[in-house]
Amino acid sequence: MARPPFTKSFTQQLPIPEDAIAAAVAVMRTGRLHRYNTAPDDPGEVAELEREFALWQGQPYCLALASGGQAMQIAMRAAGVAPGDAVLTNGFTLAPVPGAIAGVGARAVLVEVTDDLVIDLDDLAAKAQATGARFLLLSHMRGHLCDMDRLMQIAADQGICVIEDCAHTMGARWNGRLSGSFGTAGCFSTQTYKHLNAGEGGLLTSDDAAFMARAIILSGSYMLFDRHGAAPAGDVFDEIRLDTPNMSARMDNLRAALLRPQLRQIDTAIAGWNARHDLVAGRLSHVDAIHLPTRLAAEQYVGSSIQFCLPGITAKQALAFVAQLAQNGVEVKWFGASSPAGFTSNHHSWRYVAAQDLPQTDRILAGLFDMRLPLTFDLDDCALLADHIIDAVATAFHSEGGK
């Protein structure tokens, strides 16, 4: 008996909570949307968001920004990345990560990834040694954390400044420690498909006072740095305020008003994503042709999407696999495609990055598929999605005589 097609949208998020809508309307009624245009004795929504996110993240400093991409660029500038510097990053990530490196005029050095979709720490150590790179923009791509203890030991041994891209790991932990709190800075996104939804937006956290003072001036604070919710003491800015350019990348009060109520509900959202992820993963794990990334015991993840590999699949089979799923309403992205599509691309299409040889990463991407799991799906929806994937896997390999 044929399965019913899947009919829900993969891009439909939950509605903005009513208390967030009320907060946004209140901001609009004042007309005070700019973060520094606040009434006397009112810190403003952005400053309050910075204070609340810093507390939630367990870091003393937080800066709210216009996007996650701007969080990465400002973090690199504040950390001292200069034009022409080598910056290590994952060979498997999304385009905004190498784009941020290009945006500051630096040179991306791509590091291999493992079958478990995390940065290859042996290759990281070797490339840091070979290139002399002293910066790592670490992408926790699609919510997968590497062995953070070993990574930070490599960084300490080789004098590498670590900046974490946590766009997919807000709330994830390694040995109980939140992602974004290991390196000099954690960069977060509040774009619609991330864990908090403001349409666009970014958050930058750190425990380094001088770093954060530079970041705040870079963000476009003018001389209003004392009006931030989680900033260093004023004297830290004495020289930095005169030496640091203004890049105008501020978050506004309207977006912050949308985010603050969502932050209060994030633990509930994480539990919901993980329930959906684990149901799909549990079903797929029974199929020999499917490889699921292994997660180490120290990792607590946020499963807002799921990734799986079909080792040995040909390009023709992969295209047919994606097409069969699409016919049944299931949107699965393939990272091995020769051309970028939507949000999905690989290092071969990043022509602003020098071409690099990544045979291990290319082998993995050739069979790597990705699927969003929004909270608008219920568990029955997820079971149906898993069954459609299993059916399509069987068809793909049977069509050319199996694996």
Render each residue's pLDDT in the chain as its tens digit; 403 residues: 689 999 999 999 999 999 999 999 999 999 999 999 999 999 999 999 999 999 999 999 999 999 999 999 999 999 999 999 999 999 999 999 999 999 999 999 999 999 999 999 999 999 999 999 999 999 999 999 999 999 999 999 999 999 999 999 999 999 999 999 999 999 999 999 999 999 999 999 999 999 999 999 999 999 999 999 999 999 999 999 999 999 999 999 999 999 999 999 999 999 999 999 999 999 999 999 999 999 999 999 999 999 999 999 999 999 999 999 999 999 999 999 988 888 899 999 999 999 999 999 999 999 999 999 999 999 999 999 999 999 999 999 875 544 4
**Are the CB atoms for 41 and 175 separated by under 8 Å?**
no
pTM beyond 0.85, yes or no: yes
Tokens representing 313 are 């699949």
CA dihedral of 368, 356, 194, 43, whole degrees rounded to 10? 170
C-alpha span between 238 and 243 (Å, rounded): 10
User: Which residues are registered as beta bridge partners of 136?
Assistant: 88, 162
- Residue 210: half-sphere exposure toward Cβ, Cα within 13 Å: 5
Instruction: Give CA–CA dist 273/289, Å, rounded.
Output: 25
CATH code of 266-398, in short, is 3.90.1150.10
Question: Which overall architecture, per CATH, does domain 18-264 show?
Answer: 3-Layer(aba) Sandwich (3.40)
**Is 273:338 a contact under the CB 8 Å cutoff?**
no
d(CA 322, CA 162): 36
Angle between helix 379-398 and 315-327 (nearest 10): 140
Helix%, strand%, coil% for the chain, nearest 5: 40, 15, 45
> Distance (Å, rounded) from C-alpha 21 to C-alpha 259?
10
Helix (H) or strand (E) holding 317: helix 315-327
Assigned token pair, 383: 């079971």
The structure tokens listed for 61 are: 């400093």
Domain span(s) for CATH 3.40.640.10 in the chain: 18-264
Give the angle 74-77-78 at the CA atoms, nearest 5°. Answer: 85
Consecutive H or E run containing 361: helix 359-366
